């Protein structure tokens, strides 16, 4: 990737790029395993990985005479542009940066500022923080690109308040005939419902998507949890009943020590990210305390 080695603290099978200039953790013991390069970038996403990434930078400095740069969201690096395949797999793209909202639990506004539109690259996985805040003209260009793709994912959590007819019209245009069935090129569309107050707006958005022909297999939902398990469980149930598959995300603050929960809470949250278990749980109608055991 233009002679830049990118180092990550761990591999994520969906996100981490896999070209010859990508390394996980410490440098190899044998210098011949390191390709010719002009820089080394240590990429740190989570604040609780900062100490480890600082150690990685020190170790890589001992293996190269080229600049070693330490950065990423955890270190407040500005995300001013986007280069496909640099820090994510090539199919994962950002067509915008930033967000015009100011949610108290989100760092995007402080790191990236207000939403701005970027050049559009080919890809089937839209990771924008708030794609639907873009102008209609920009979205139309993205839609035209996506019509050439398959397995389309809107992974960044489109704003439920911005699920409008223009977006639904695009979703309807992705259907095609496969065998005797009519199917959509969109495989996943992730929304977010992080508070009880967001539930009415979330349900309204899901109804629009159901009218398009989507169901729980395609409609997924991030849900911040961790403050009150009983209330969180009730919201997760409401998300499921509305027609979406909930995905519990335990809140972690921005400190350099990972927020820890008791093992029972961790286990409970883990079960709320497994679709088969969630479905079985909902069909049984068990309560949250039973689900945690």
Mean pLDDT over 82-94 rounds to 95
Q: Among 75, 90, 106, identify where a domain stops.
A: 75
Residue 115 lies inside a defined structural domain of this protein: no
Same domain, 167 and 270: yes
Q: Is-contact 129 156, C-beta < 8 A?
A: yes
Confidence band (pLDDT; 50, 70, 90) for 257? low
Domain co-membership, 159 together with 288: yes
Q: What burial letters (b/e) apply to 264-286, b meaning 16+ CB within 10 Å?
A: ebeebbeebeeeeebeebeeeee
Locate 267 and state its tokens: 């286990």
Structural domain contains residue 271: yes
The pTM for the full model equals 0.89
Domain containing residue 51: 4-75
> Mean pLDDT over residues 32-60, rounded?
95
Give the pLDDT confidence score for residue 106 in this predicted structure: 76
Map tokens 């930078």 to a residue. Answer: 57
Neighbours of 104 (CB within 10 A): 4
Which residues, in sequence order, are bridge partners of residue 225?
Answer: 250
pLDDT on residue 252: 78
Last residue of a domain, one of 75, 95, 129: 75
Residue of 158, 31, 36 whose CA lies nearest to 96? 158
Same domain, 162 and 284: yes
pLDDT the model gives residue 291: 45
* Number of folded domains that form the chain: 2
pLDDT digits (tens, 9 = 90+) for 144-158: 999 999 999 999 988
pLDDT for 293 equals: 39
pLDDT of residue 11: 95
| pLDDT of 71 strictly over 50 | yes
For residue 55, give Cα distances in angstroms to 9, 34, 69, 185: 10, 18, 12, 43
Q: Is the pLDDT of residue 250 over 50?
A: yes
Average pLDDT value over all residues in the chain: 92
Coil, strand or helix: which one is 172?
A: helix
Higher pLDDT, 227 or 35: 35
Q: How confident is the model at residue 292 (pLDDT cuts 50, 70, 90)?
A: very low
Last residue of a domain, one of 58, 75, 92: 75
Which pair of structure tokens corresponds to residue 37?
Answer: 């390069």
pLDDT digits (tens, 9 = 90+) for 219-234: 999 999 998 999 999 9
């Amino acid at each position: 990737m233009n002679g830049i080695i990118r180092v990550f603290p761990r591999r994520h099978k969906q996100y981490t790029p896999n070209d010859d200039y990508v390394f996980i953790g410490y440098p190899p013991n044998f210098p011949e395993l390191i390709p010719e390069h002009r820089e080394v970038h240590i990429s740190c996403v989570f604040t609780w990985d900062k100490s480890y990434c600082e150690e990685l930078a020190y170790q890589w400095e001992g293996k190269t005479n080229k600049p070693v740069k330490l950065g990423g969201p955890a270190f407040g690096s500005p995300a001013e542009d986007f280069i496909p395949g640099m820090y994510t797999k090539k199919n994962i793209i950002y067509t915008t940066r930033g967000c015009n909202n100011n949610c108290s639990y989100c760092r995007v506004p402080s790191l990236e500022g207000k939403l701005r539109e970027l050049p559009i690259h080919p890809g089937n996985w839209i990771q924008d923080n708030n794609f639907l805040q873009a102008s209609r003209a920009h979205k139309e260009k993205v839609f035209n690109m996506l019509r050439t793709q398959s397995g389309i994912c809107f992974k960044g959590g489109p704003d439920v308040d911005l699920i409008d007819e223009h977006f639904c019209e695009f979703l309807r245009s992705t259907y095609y005939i496969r065998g005797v069935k009519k199917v959509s090129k969109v495989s996943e569309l992730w929304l977010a419902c992080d508070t009880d107050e967001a539930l009415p707006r979330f349900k309204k958005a899901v109804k629009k998507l159901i009218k398009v022909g989507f169901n729980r297999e395609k409609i997924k939902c991030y849900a911040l949890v961790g403050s009150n398990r009983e209330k969180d469980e009730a919201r997760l149930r409401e998300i499921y009943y509305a027609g979406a598959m909930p995905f519990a995300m335990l809140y972690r603050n921005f400190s350099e020590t990972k927020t820890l929960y008791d093992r029972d809470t961790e286990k409970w949250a883990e079960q709320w990210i497994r679709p088969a278990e969630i479905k079985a749980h909902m069909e049984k109608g068990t309560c949250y305390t039973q689900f945690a055991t």
